[in-house]
Amino acid sequence: MLNRLKIIFSITGISLVAYGLITRDFQLNDLMILFLGFFMFTLGIQEFQRQRTVFGWCLMGVSLFSIYVSVQSFVLI
């Protein structure tokens, strides 16, 4: 299940990045950061399952920060 979510979040994020680079329209950067945060969150869960807690906590912190920044930018617009 986590592998499927990881693939979905990464493909969605990469497609948003490619769209922004090709069209030079950077209005979807907030969504890209949100999906990046979700992707890193799933990576953090996988690291906890592998008993690598330090790297898992680092990924969780970065993912929560990026999700917070993305949601904050949605609220401010």
pLDDT in tens, 6-53: 999 999 999 999 999 999 988 888 999 999 999 999 999 999 999 999
Question: What are the residue ranges spanned by the domains of the chain?
Answer: 2-76
Contacts of range 62-66, beta carbons closer than 8 Å, 24 or more positions apart: 63/37, 63/38, 63/39, 64/37, 65/37, 66/33, 66/34, 66/36, 66/37, 66/40
pTM passes above 0.75 = yes
DSSP string, 10-55: HHHHHHHHHHHHHH---TTHHHHHHHHHHHHHHHHHHHHHTT-HHH
